[in-house]
Amino acid sequence: MTKIIAEIGVNHNGNLTKALKLVKLAKTAGVDYVKFQIYKTNLLVTKYAQKSKYQKINISDDSSQYTMLKKYELSFKEHKKIYAFCKKKNINYCASPFDLESLKFLIKLKTKIIKIGSGELTNKLLLDGLKNYKGLILLSTGMSTLQEIKKSISIFKKNKNKFNLLYCCSSYPAPIKEIDLNVLKSLRDNFKCGVGFSDHTTGIEAAISSSILGATFIEKHFTDNKMSLGPDHKASFNFKEMKKLVNEIKKYSSLFKSGKKIITKSELENRVNSRKSIVAKKFIKKGERFSKKNLTVKRPGDGISPFHIDKLYKLKSNKSYHPNEKIKKN
């Protein structure tokens, strides 16, 4: 069944109390995981890096990525508190590290999942740092070529890491016209692994469709207020939207089971009412040979199956039959 990740990211705006509130909201919405972004600003970005177009939405700071990210940075101590709070609330914590120190912290914390964001897909130093990680790696593939993905995966395979790939369009929000969910199949076929969807669209349709196509995980940004100041709030789902997504995914996921073709309980009665049995077409005398002239098939289907009518043509009747009477085994 598809697992849903509420990507809180930096939507806590650097406030621990707000982060814990968002965890509670996500738990109430019914998601499986909450995900945060964990980093040390001075290890992530230079002071000269400019914010992208999407990062300037609802931001009152200057144009520096450093200034923005420093404002939203949570300490390792605060992340420990979030992790403990998640355990208390019985919801899974995971995070995306953006530097080696943050990655080492997550490995020491023994999180079940570590998400590697699309921007880190070519960060060999970070990928090498996962060498001794025993959990599941989710590698987001936004902005990447198949060749770049192949290089990243070669590191995981060398180190015997467990991994899934997430299809992603790294725009915030992502235009629905740029989404191609057939990429899920391409990733699955090319790399023989589980695939999921990191969804940055504003609607619910793409996520539901990816679930139907077998997405292992669906990640969606989550906030308590889309109008809050910050880079990701506008492209995030609020509580009502996330709750609806969870309910819809569960509903559609329940339609995909073992894949074994069986006769279901509800079909058994209809099987008798809808199928046909071999019956006498006219009066048949005892000893008379069965033929197309004296046999036909009619409902209900609780007698001999029409599949066996050719065998009856070779036999003589061992009793007399009235019209429409079901033929019994000789």
Task: Evaluate the CA torsion angle 90, 80, 122, 65 in order and state its sign.
Answer: positive
Do 155 and 190 reside in the same domain of the chain? yes
Domain-ending residue, one of 253, 277, 308: 253
β-pair type (92-97, 33-38): parallel
DSSP string, 37-102: EE--HHHH--TTPBPPTGGGTT--S-SBHHHHHHHH---HHHHHHHHHHHHHTT-EEEEEE-SHHH
pLDDT score of 53: 60
Q: How confident is the model at residue 316 (pLDDT cuts 50, 70, 90)?
A: very high
Do 249 and 264 lie in a common domain? Answer: no
- State whether 69 and 9 are in the same domain: yes
* Short-list 187, 178, 236, CA closest to 206: 178
Digit-coded pLDDT (tens) for 68-81: 899 999 999 999 99
* pLDDT number for residue 330: 81
The whole-number average pLDDT for the span 99-120 is 98
> Looking at residues 240-265, what average pLDDT do you find?
92
255 DSSP assignment? T
Give residue-wise pLDDT tens across range 159-201: 999 999 999 999 989 999 999 999 999 999 999 999 999 999 9
Q: Are 236 and 94 in a shared domain? A: yes
Do 221 and 282 belong together in one domain?
no
Span 16-42, pLDDT tens digits: 999 999 999 999 999 999 999 999 999
Cα(154)–Cα(309) distance, integer angstroms: 60
What is the average pLDDT value for the chain, to the nearest integer?
94
The structural domain count of the chain equals 2
Specify the CATH number for the domain of residue 287. 3.90.1210.10
Considering the domain architecture, whether residues 180 and 46 belong to the same structural domain is answered as yes
| Cα gap 95→114, rounded to integer Å | 6
Q: 13 with 46, same domain?
A: yes
The pTM (predicted TM-score) of the whole model is 0.86
> Tell me, what's the pLDDT at 221?
97
Q: Are 271 and 301 in contact (CB under 8 A)?
A: yes
What pLDDT is attached to residue 231?
86
Are 264 and 236 contained in the same domain?
no
**Boundary-marking domain end, from 236, 253, 270:** 253
Range of the domain at 291: 260-330
Give the pLDDT band of residue 64 (cuts 50, 70, 90).
confident
Residues 148 and 218 in one domain: yes
**At 74, which CATH number?**
3.20.20.70
- In this prediction, residue 54 carries a pLDDT of 52
- The proportion of the chain whose per-residue pLDDT surpasses 70, expressed as a percent, equals 96
Determine the pLDDT at residue 71.
94
Residues 240, 94 share a domain: yes
- Give the span between the Cα atoms of 320 and 95, in whole angstroms: 78
Which of these three, 253, 279, 296, is where a domain ends?
253
Is 280 found in the same domain as 141?
no
Q: Please tell me whether residues 190 and 147 are part of one structural domain.
A: yes
Out of 82-91, 114-123, 248-257, which region has the weakest mean confidence (pLDDT)?
Answer: 248-257
